[in-house]
Amino acid sequence: MSVTNGYDAEVASKIVARFDAKPELLIQILRGVVERFGYVPEAAVRQLADELNLSRADVHGVVSYYHDFRTEPPGKHIVKICQAEACQAMGSRELTAHAEDALGIRMHGSNDDITLEPVYCLGNCACSPAIMIDERTHGRVNSQRFDELIGGLEADD
C-beta contacts of 146-155 below 8 A and 24+ residues apart: 146/95, 146/98, 146/99, 146/102, 147/102, 150/79, 150/102, 150/103, 150/114, 153/77, 153/113, 153/114, 154/113
Q: Are 26 and 54 in contact (CB under 8 A)?
A: yes
Q: Is 114 exposed, middle or buried (0-12, 13-18, 19+ CB in 10 A)?
A: buried
Sign of CA dihedral 140, 143, 146, 151: negative
Question: Facing residues of 117 across strands?
Answer: 80
Q: Which residues contact 139 (CB under 8 A, 6 or more apart)?
A: 124, 126, 127, 128, 129, 130
pLDDT score recorded for residue 157: 61
pLDDT score recorded for residue 97: 98
pLDDT digits (tens, 9 = 90+) for 69-104: 999 999 999 999 999 999 999 999 999 999 999 999
With bands split at pLDDT 50, 70 and 90, how would you rate the model's confidence at 67?
A: confident
Q: Where are the domains of the chain?
A: 3-65, 77-156
With bands split at pLDDT 50, 70 and 90, how would you rate the model's confidence at 2?
A: very low
pLDDT digits (tens, 9 = 90+) for 11-42: 999 999 999 999 999 999 999 999 999 999 99
pLDDT score recorded for residue 154: 72
Classify domain 77-156 by CATH number.
Answer: 3.40.30.10
The DSSP output letter for 24 is G
